[in-house]
Structure 1
């Protein structure tokens, strides 16, 4: 895949993450190869750090820092030797932005997780947002905003092998134990849980095994994975995040929600895109059907993570979480 094709493939994901579409085109049109992706996105992130340093108000500085965090995270989507440094820069930029924009925001970290808790202290519910194979807490800021707008508190996290923790940890099959430690650290009696892409599997699995999950939603999550069906780039990334090819094979064998779906007692919303090209995530209907309180939303024109169809699913997901937790 050349740079033009790669940029086209990442277009809706990048704009769904909140970067300006015109700037995205300007940055990607100048790429000679996919190997130029990471450096170009990091340079763009640095321009926003400079704007933050020169901003005339704390609000502008915070907004620039959020944009920098997005660009640094997106730098990690292509093969890039300095991806761990880009992830660290994304984490630092977000860590500088949130205390400025939301003085009540709080960093919470523990064994196998780190993230930011945002929203009112007296919120009727707290939602944990779990990322996927190569996503991170910096990617889904629009989803967090939709949940915050409904009066909920939100903890957007990186787990083992994800985001800023990818450099020092690897995926674990029992993600529910990580979420259990998150719930303990947040000091709440119950949570809502949203998982995106591979995070959808983590969320559904956790909802089946962690009784404190009171509402759950998956977006472009796999019901079952088959190693032979995964494209080579996905296999390579899986091996990187799992700790090697053998560990990746073993991890993929765990990804089967058929036996777990009937154990999901919480209200469940499963969101799929009809144009999703990632094998294993094109049909989550069995998950919704097997879960006792499952509902299914398929957006025919939606792609992976449905960045091209946010009005078709994001408000409904926000309402699902708010209504279930209230």
Structure 2
């Protein structure tokens, strides 16, 4: 795939993550090859770091924090294309995100444990806590609008990277038993019950965890696969999975485990399944079956939505946020 086609394919994902659409066009229009993607996005992120430093020196800490959040977005997006310095970009995204929260939300705290790391945000006495689970090549820095929507409803949010994800991708690989990771997160956070929202492959992780971890009290999935067939996956997806799983054989075996047929009936928590009918990834646009098999499943299909529905945020984000809030608190959002 050339740079133009790749940029077009990532358009709604990038703008859904919160980067300015006009700046995205300017950056991607200047790419002569896909190999320029990572360096150009890193360069853009560094520009925001400089703006943050300038704002800090001028006595404008809030502007500095906002620039740092934008830098984190660009650094994360730098990892989407094949790039030898992707671990560096992920580390820079992680660092910028942490610096931003230190400025903008002094009560936010870094929480890490075996196989996970992330930031816990929101009031200490929040009536519920939602864990945001990323997917194949996403990370905690990508879904800031989702976190903001949940925080605005009074919930606490733990945005995490798990094994093979985000800043941990350089040192760990995917695990099939993600429910164990979620269990350790719950133990470390010290909460009695949580909500989960999983995006893309994170939808599978969240649904699996909801089936096998009884402390999950609410769950939602966005563009999550019900099952995957290795032979049907597009080559770019196979390549990413091979990298994140630690080799071709491990990736093939991991994909074989992605099947919710037996687990869906065990999801007793209220479940909302969101998917876009224009999602082009094989195995993902089959959420209706997951919702139907789960005892308390509901299904929201957006006709014009693509993968991760970055082109349809108003059609699902408020509804999903309300679902988690109402389920965790028992009150309207």
TM class, shorter-chain normalised?
over 0.9
Q: How many angstroms does 1:2 deviate by? A: 1.1
Q: Distance in 1 between matches of 2:235 and 2:315?
A: 31
Matched, 1:170 2:166: no
Which structure 2 residues correspond to residues 188-207 of structure 1 after superposition, within 5 A? 188-207=191-210
What CA deviation, in whole Å up to 9, does each residue of 1:24-73 have, x standing for no partner?
Answer: 00000000011100000000000000000000311000000000000000
SS of residue in 2 equivalent to 1:63:
helix
Q: Which runs of 5+ in 1 are unaligned?
A: none
What CA deviation, in whole Å up to 9, does each residue of 1:113-159 have, x standing for no partner?
Answer: 00000001111100000000000000000000000010000000000
Q: How many angstroms does 1:241 deviate by? A: 0.2
> What residue number does 2:326 align with?
323
SS of residue in 2 equivalent to 1:12:
helix
What CA deviation, in whole Å up to 9, does each residue of 1:197-240 have, x standing for no partner?
Answer: 00000000000000000000000000000000001111111010
> What residue number does 2:292 align with?
289
Q: How many angstroms does 1:99 deviate by? A: 1.1
SS of residue in 1 equivalent to 2:160:
strand
Normalised to the residue count of structure 1, the TM-score between the two structures is 1.00
Q: Distance in 1 between matches of 2:198 and 2:204?
A: 7
Q: Which runs of 5+ in 2 are unaligned?
A: none
SS of residue in 1 equivalent to 2:42:
helix
> What residue number does 1:33 align with?
33
Matched, 1:126 2:129: yes
Q: How many angstroms does 1:282 deviate by? A: 1.1
Matched, 1:249 2:252: yes
SS of residue in 2 equivalent to 1:157:
strand
Which structure 2 residues correspond to residues 18-97 of structure 1 after superposition, within 5 A? 18-55=18-55, 56=58, 57-97=60-100
Q: Distance in 2 between matches of 1:8 and 1:231?
A: 17
Ranges of 4+ aligned residues in structure 1 off by more than 4 Å: none
Q: How many angstroms does 1:283 deviate by? A: 1.8
Q: Distance in 2 between matches of 1:266 and 1:147?
A: 18
Q: Distance in 2 between matches of 1:41 and 1:301?
A: 28
> What residue number does 2:5 align with?
5
